[in-house]
A and B are shown apart, each in its own frame.
Chain A
């Protein structure tokens, strides 16, 4: 009973209030229970004044006349603390040695374990395919693979550059800026499929009559010159722009369409979203919302609708597999894996799988366009 109480007290006491006055005052005494002092009392031969219940219990055990020689490894430390100076107190038993050596050994070996792990990071768009490919390879080839989406495409590219990962995922081509910034790195991208960026709106906007936007309209919305959907033929509702955060492949493709060069895009004060799932959820649950989203993620979700792009000659191009394949839809983009130098080792095994018919069927399954087969196939970029 008393030990159980101790445990509870320590839970709150040690973590938050080791320096409060609880110990010395023992309030609540009137309610009839003793409190374990929390403060460090100086060592005084006897077993009281120890900071924790555990220490106290150890002392109880010892003071009940068990010879120290029978005590386990840690118990002998408690005895040491008490200052009783018998040689046997300092004996370190076999279990202790085994534990320590196991810890040391695993620490020494852990770099080897990490070296064998294929680390993949980057675009959430490519991630959908990479995750499944990783599952297959883990099961069939016993490969150790981690797949993450920290920072989107630019996270993948900078990860490859500083060698914190072996394989980067990117849903935009490597720009000259990237090559300049990481001049010591030989970026090699392998294209595994195609996708497009769609401008996606919530249901009320779509049903209110907005089915497409021209480049100028999209730019005015982005720059905050158009703030209400009625200005582009829609319902009378303010526009909520969920902007893909900078560095995301989706955003760069979008900015490339609007400005020719993402660097020319002005600073804005829109709400930002990160991965595809976040953008999709937030647009679906907000009235008057628009965001840039991977086309594959927009398809097959009844809560959101992909707008067509109205070209300068008045034609409206709706994103679809055929308009993406023939590049008539202006925001088509490649799905890439990025390596430093030609892919080798585990990374090559991974890429070979994604490029194989089975891997390509995964690309297709997630709504992306697999690589064209036969003449004119787009290869490494």
Chain B
């Protein structure tokens, strides 16, 4: 063990690789923080609370975008969670190993579909279907570009993440737990619902959070179907009416034309960088929380 290695190429390469990743992360964070100083100076807290984004007026209140990002991601999570967890229970607890691996592979292929393809499907089909559905339901939706459309599309996109990680979570419940509960006379359904699922809850939470992290940052698919309407905040948060209205998320704003227009205008580009910093920060927090949950769960299970 303590023998000196003369030329440990693999170790060196791994060290360099992870070093580069770490340095890049820190540098990116620092660059975003420094770049957004001007916008914070100009706007103060109203960067978060103001609802008056308009670069020609030099006002950069991003409240509607924060709202849009949060709601779109939550809608996606709420739609993806039951299906993803259901898929995982089916694959992990009901299927044979072979079928389980096949399902897992298919689900992960789903994760590999480029997001612009999802966006295209969203524009061509989902928009139209939901628009027709809204009409049928008598909802006064102006068009098919709504927060709900974006959330639904995102749900499909984060489904693989949620499903495959939940499957991992269920699999990491020790088999002795399964055996004990079956030995106590529980049916497979009972064992799954009341013993295995509760055991796996922290890791499933981690899986959902990682899904949320992916949803927060997803750009192009959301961009195409969310409507990109600035400064639309709902008057009544309790009603579900705002869901069928257009909105704007941070990522759809960053993916849009303003990033180009901001070139050469220090304040405007600083505001854009500030949006990026907010997005970066929230994805970082969510991902770290997810990893922490999963690590803790792994520790508990591993005992």
B235 partner residues in chain A, CB cutoff 8 A: none
Residues from 132 to 158 in B contacting A, C-beta threshold 8 Å:
140, 142-145
Residues from 181 to 203 in A contacting B, C-beta threshold 8 Å:
181-182
B256 partner residues in chain A, CB cutoff 8 A: 245, 272, 274
Q: Identify which of B96, B167, B260 contacts A150 (C-beta below 8 A).
A: B260
Q: How many residues of B contact A (CB 8 A)?
A: 70
On whether the beta carbons of A90 and B257 are closer than 8 Å, the reply is no
On whether the beta carbons of A162 and B263 are closer than 8 Å, the reply is yes
Q: Identify which of B7, B128, B169 contacts A285 (C-beta below 8 A).
A: B128
B298 part of interface (Cβ distance < 8 Å):
yes
On whether the beta carbons of A271 and B145 are closer than 8 Å, the reply is yes
| Selected interface stretch from A11-19, A300-308, A309-317 | A11-19
| Selected interface stretch from B20-28, B38-46, B54-62, B274-282 | B54-62
How distant is the Cα of A278 from the Cα of B172 in the complex, in angstroms? 46
B167 partner residues in chain A, CB cutoff 8 A: 12
How distant is the Cα of A79 from the Cα of B11 in the complex, in angstroms? 13
> Min CB distance, B57 to chain A, in Å?
6
> Min CB distance, A207 to chain B, in Å?
18
On whether the beta carbons of B131 and A28 are closer than 8 Å, the reply is no
A29 partner residues in chain B, CB cutoff 8 A: 175
On whether the beta carbons of A248 and B52 are closer than 8 Å, the reply is no
Q: Identify which of B52, B53, B264, B294 contacts A17 (C-beta below 8 A).
A: B294
A152 part of interface (Cβ distance < 8 Å):
yes
B231 part of interface (Cβ distance < 8 Å):
yes
A162 partner residues in chain B, CB cutoff 8 A: 263
How distant is the Cα of A80 from the Cα of B299 in the complex, in angstroms? 32
> Min CB distance, B141 to chain A, in Å?
10
Q: Name, among B3, B210, B263, the residue most crowded by chain A CB atoms within 10 Å (CB to CB).
A: B263
B144 partner residues in chain A, CB cutoff 8 A: 285-286
Given contacts A181-B265, A271-B228, contact A20 B168 (CB under 8 A): yes
On whether the beta carbons of B108 and A272 are closer than 8 Å, the reply is no
Residues from 1 to 40 in B contacting A, C-beta threshold 8 Å:
1, 3, 5-11
Residues from 224 to 245 in A contacting B, C-beta threshold 8 Å:
238, 240, 242, 245
On whether the beta carbons of A158 and B263 are closer than 8 Å, the reply is yes
How distant is the Cα of A242 from the Cα of B264 in the complex, in angstroms? 28
Q: Identify which of B210, B261, B298 contacts A154 (C-beta below 8 A).
A: B261
A112 part of interface (Cβ distance < 8 Å):
no
> Min CB distance, B32 to chain A, in Å?
20
On whether the beta carbons of B131 and A247 are closer than 8 Å, the reply is no
On whether the beta carbons of A267 and B9 are closer than 8 Å, the reply is no
B173 partner residues in chain A, CB cutoff 8 A: 27
B295 part of interface (Cβ distance < 8 Å):
yes
> Min CB distance, B21 to chain A, in Å?
14
> Min CB distance, B169 to chain A, in Å?
8
How distant is the Cα of A22 from the Cα of B10 in the complex, in angstroms? 24
On whether the beta carbons of A267 and B52 are closer than 8 Å, the reply is yes
Residues from 255 to 273 in A contacting B, C-beta threshold 8 Å:
263, 265, 267-273
How distant is the Cα of A12 from the Cα of B128 in the complex, in angstroms? 35
| Selected interface stretch from B71-79, B97-105, B185-193, B236-244 | B97-105
On whether the beta carbons of A246 and B299 are closer than 8 Å, the reply is no
Given contacts A22-B168, A43-B1, A80-B10, contact A12 B104 (CB under 8 A): yes
On whether the beta carbons of B10 and A77 are closer than 8 Å, the reply is yes
> Min CB distance, B218 to chain A, in Å?
17
On whether the beta carbons of A19 and B229 are closer than 8 Å, the reply is no
> Min CB distance, A212 to chain B, in Å?
23
On whether the beta carbons of B97 and A31 are closer than 8 Å, the reply is yes
How distant is the Cα of A271 from the Cα of B179 in the complex, in angstroms? 56
> Min CB distance, A308 to chain B, in Å?
24
Q: Identify which of A28, A246, A269, A282 contacts B232 (C-beta below 8 A).
A: A269
On whether the beta carbons of B168 and A12 are closer than 8 Å, the reply is yes
Closest to A281 in B: B123
On whether the beta carbons of B302 and A21 are closer than 8 Å, the reply is yes
On whether the beta carbons of B7 and A90 are closer than 8 Å, the reply is yes
How distant is the Cα of A268 from the Cα of B203 in the complex, in angstroms? 44
Given contacts A11-B108, A20-B203, A285-B127, contact A161 B264 (CB under 8 A): yes
B143 partner residues in chain A, CB cutoff 8 A: 240, 242, 271, 282, 286, 289
Given contacts A27-B173, A285-B128, contact A181 B264 (CB under 8 A): yes
How distant is the Cα of A99 from the Cα of B131 in the complex, in angstroms? 54
Given contacts A21-B302, A282-B143, contact A28 B171 (CB under 8 A): yes
A19 partner residues in chain B, CB cutoff 8 A: 291, 294-295, 298
On whether the beta carbons of B175 and A246 are closer than 8 Å, the reply is no
| CB-defined A-B contacts under 8 Å, sample of 24 | A16-B165, A17-B168, A21-B297, A21-B301, A24-B302, A25-B172, A25-B302, A27-B172, A28-B97, A30-B178, A30-B179, A77-B10, A85-B6, A161-B263, A162-B263, A240-B143, A245-B257, A245-B258, A246-B257, A247-B258, A271-B229, A272-B256, A282-B143, A286-B142
| Nearest 3 interchain pairs by C-beta | A151-B260, A267-B54, A21-B298
Given A81-B10, A151-B257, A181-B265, 6 new contacts (CB under 8 A): A20-B172, A27-B174, A28-B175, A42-B1, A77-B10, A154-B260
